Structure 1
Amino acid sequence: MLTALGIPASNAINMFYKQIILQRGFPFEVKMPSARPVDISALSEAQMNAELEKGYADMQSGHTRSAKSVFTDIRKDYNL
């Protein structure tokens, strides 16, 4: 990924260290996720369909956020 961005690994590490100094800590939250993400490559077709149904049910019940709202939060959280 760094190569695709044209950033040598050493520069990325230096940027990370500078952010630690500027933020006086990690520049991101460090925690264990409450649930493991679903590895879709390991799902059977039936399991994949069940996961898709869960997403559809969330959408139908209004458990969604607009992309605009999500990107607004990201910009706020990361001072972009």
Structure 2
Amino acid sequence: MAKTANIYTRVDPEIKNQAEQILEQLGIPMSNAIGIFLRQVILHNGLPFEMTLPVSKPVAIGNLTKEQLDAELQKGFDDIENGRVFSLDEVDAEMKSRYGI
């Protein structure tokens, strides 16, 4: 039985270069890193990390330019004019659900 098997894959060249630079600093060849990843897949019986979408954060007023703040306020005025309004309890529940606050 062969001691190794080949894996062929296509990867974005920039991703490959960035990963190689990091792995080189760690002293790990790319083939070893891939082997480590595959062993972790086996140990975890799945991907060895959680796959989630990034949590969106509410708009921080202090980080907005005047133009951005004006645009956000205009969105609010447009919502009011078009009847898209929510009670304080609805907003509070949504904030807790989305952002944990």
Normalising by structure 1, we get a TM-score of 0.43
Q: Which has the larger radius of gyration?
A: 2
Flag the structure with more relative contact order, 1 or 2, with Cα contacts below 8 A and sequence separation at least 6.
Answer: 2
